[in-house]
Amino acid sequence: MSTLSRDQIRTLMAEVLAAQGKQMPDDEQVNLEEIGFRSLDFSELALRVEDEIDDELNFDAPELRRIATVSDVLDFLEQLQSS
Amino acid sequence: MSPSPAGHAAGNRVVTQDFDGTWEQLQSLPLPPSSALAARHHLDAVRAVRTAADGAHELLVAGRSRLTADLRDELRAEGLAVVDVVDVGGSADTGDAADVGDTTGGPVEVTSPTTDREPVPGRVWLLTSGSTGRPKRVAHTLDSLTTVGGEQPPRTWLCPYAHGAYAWWQVVTLGLRHPGQDILFVEPDELDTWPARALEVGVTAASGTPTFWRQALYRDPDAVAALPLEQVTLGGEPVDQAILTRLTELFPAARVSWIYASSEAGASIAVHDGLAGFPAAWLGRQQEGRARLDVVDGELVIASPRRGAGVDDVLRTGDRAEVVDGRVLLPGRVASDEINVGGAKASAAQVRAVLLDHPRVAWAAVRGRRAPIVGSIVTADVVPVRTDGPGTDPLTEADLSAWCTDRLPDHAVPRRVRFLDQIPIKESLKSDV
């Protein structure tokens, strides 16, 4: 299974935000609420990652931990690919 | 039922890939009293019907590809011989089978039943479409399958349905019983080219699923529009206003009918006013010879005089029903319609209807897809309308997202859209929507 780099996931996240008329912040410590990145957006991003790697992510494997910042999103999806 | 095709409709024309003649000119098949015919093509199937029309046989007709080894064993255990018509220059691969000479139309191979029982003369078995697991068998007779009454104007029908399906029998019994009802059968490999053949044969009436009509209009709308159709019939799937309107506009002189029928319930609803669904005033109505229709917990419930043998008097159809502006709409199946997006419910049928309303969408299917945090998100497969010439911007996910955002709650807007370049269609002429 191929995996996406953190930068590639970041690009996909920017696309999800753009589709909602929002912008990807430069600062990865920005809180998701501030940029309006909601659970539906997170879910869409996860499926975009799945489509890119042509494989299903194992959402059940790790506990879904608290995801509060842009950095959390990128970290989580990066780790999920290798779980 | 007249005792044989030598009756008053025996002179009706039957046209298949390899035959153009009348019912009485069709060669019969040497069928055992209880038979399941594995039809290679429509000619096998209508020959079996012609043979069984004497009322002495028990018959099941299905396409050969549907009769898997498991199903063949099951049918034999139920007392049916499995019959294959032997291909010219070869033999059907049916295992331990006995050759029986067919003095009238080529050899058949008969694989005997493994259970002996007395045949039920006149019984016609239908296999359900099997979209939710193994196909079930439903018992009818040629009488219960003949649902068109009264004098009919002379017509030549197009029959694109799979051999032995309920809708196939509807067209077949029409041709077998009513004088002046000719039939052109088209095989699955003719679905791309049928309009030219229909024009050549003189088709004036056509019956098909909404997917069949969508696909035909997607592939070659001009060829379809050139047909002198007086009757256009749709059934077998949810029918939306967009396809009804398009066909009504294309054939202004034709009667456009929507028929609700199934192997279990039989033909139960017929609507000819060009509007989706049926009048809510029909709910609860009791009329001799007609089905009683009700909506119970959002599901269409039918008590049909044309139901199959052994089917419950009151049948829960599994089809979702909703009353909107005095019409009862049947947008999809109860079991597969609801998509739970983070606790909010999205209706796949409603999302699909919104997508189909887009002027550049030819076909759409909507499903839930497993997703983290919210459980499922709404996804769609879409076939865009073909555009003429260069310079037209392709339809994009963003276009559809904006269209849906204006018409649907946020959670119901498809988050992933896949564009297909063909309308998917199954042997049943349906799509999984």
The answer to whether position A14 is within a domain reads yes
Contacts of B372 in chain A (CB under 8 A): 42-43, 46, 57, 59, 64
**Structural domains counted in chain A:** 1
Please tell me the distance from the alpha carbon of residue B306 to that of residue B303, in angstroms, as a whole number: 9
Please tell me the distance from the alpha carbon of residue B209 to that of residue B233, in angstroms, as a whole number: 8
* pLDDT grade for A62, boundaries at 50, 70 and 90: low
The answer to whether position A48 is within a domain reads yes
Q: With an 8 Å Cβ cutoff, is B53 touching chain A?
A: no
Contact B243, B213 (CB under 8 A): yes
Residues forming beta bridges with residue B98, ordered by sequence position? B110
Tell me the ipTM for this assembly: 0.87
| Domain encompassing residue A52 | 6-81
The answer to whether position A1 is within a domain reads no
The answer to whether position A71 is within a domain reads yes
Q: With an 8 Å Cβ cutoff, is B344 touching chain A?
A: no
Gap from B219 CA to chain A (nearest CA, Å): 29
* pLDDT grade for A28, boundaries at 50, 70 and 90: very high
Contact B416 A42 (CB under 8 A): no
**Among residues B234, B230, B256, which one has the least CA distance to residue B167?**
B234
Assign residue A41 the CATH number of its domain.
1.10.1200.10
DSSP-assigned letter for residue B88: T
Contacts of A37 in chain B (CB under 8 A): none
Contacts of B370 in chain A (CB under 8 A): 59
**Among residues A27, A19, A45, A23, which one has the least CA distance to residue A35?**
A23
pLDDT at A75 over 70: yes
Mutate to test the interface with A, among B377, B406, B411 (most CBs of A within 10 A): B377
Contact B170, B145 (CB under 8 A): yes
Mutate to test the interface with A, among B370, B405, B406 (most CBs of A within 10 A): B370
Gap from A9 CA to chain B (nearest CA, Å): 16
Contacts of A46 in chain B (CB under 8 A): 371-372
CA A31 to chain centre: 14
Q: Nearest chain B Cα to A19, which residue?
A: B398
At residue A65, the pLDDT reads: 64
At residue B410, the pLDDT reads: 92
Q: With an 8 Å Cβ cutoff, is B411 touching chain A?
A: yes
Q: Nearest chain A Cα to B413, which residue?
A: A40
Q: What domains sit in chain B, N to C, each tagged with a CATH number?
A: 10-86+106-156 (no CATH), 338-431 (3.30.300.30)
Contacts of A59 in chain B (CB under 8 A): 370-372
Note down pLDDT in tens along chain B; length 433 residues: 444 554 779 999 999 999 999 999 999 899 999 999 999 999 999 999 999 998 889 999 999 988 999 999 999 999 999 999 987 654 443 334 444 433 345 588 999 999 999 999 999 999 986 555 678 899 999 988 998 888 889 999 999 999 999 999 999 999 999 999 999 999 989 988 999 999 999 999 999 999 999 989 988 999 999 999 999 999 988 888 889 999 999 999 999 999 999 889 988 999 999 999 999 999 999 998 899 999 999 999 999 998 999 898 999 999 999 999 999 999 888 887 889 998 888 999 999 999 999 999 999 999 999 888 888 999 999 999 987 666 678 899 989 999 999 999 999 999 999 999 999 998 888 887 6
Contact A39 B373 (CB under 8 A): yes
Please tell me the distance from the alpha carbon of residue B99 to that of residue B382, in angstroms, as a whole number: 49
Q: With an 8 Å Cβ cutoff, is B409 touching chain A?
A: no
| Residue of A19, A43, A51 lying closest to B374 (CB–CB) | A43
The answer to whether position A17 is within a domain reads yes
Please tell me the distance from the alpha carbon of residue B337 to that of residue B331, in angstroms, as a whole number: 9
The answer to whether position A72 is within a domain reads yes
At residue B95, the pLDDT reads: 37
Write out the E strands in B64-170: 81-85, 98-100, 108-111, 123-127, 137-141, 155-159
Please tell me the distance from the alpha carbon of residue B93 to that of residue B77, in angstroms, as a whole number: 19
Contact A43 B410 (CB under 8 A): no
Q: With an 8 Å Cβ cutoff, is B372 touching chain A?
A: yes
What is the DSSP annotation of B223-262? HHHTS--SEEEEESS---HHHHHHHHHH-TTSEEEEEEEE
Contact A44 B416 (CB under 8 A): yes
Residue found under tokens 């494997």:
A61
Q: With an 8 Å Cβ cutoff, is A68 touching chain B?
A: no
Contact B110, B86 (CB under 8 A): no
Contact B415 A43 (CB under 8 A): yes
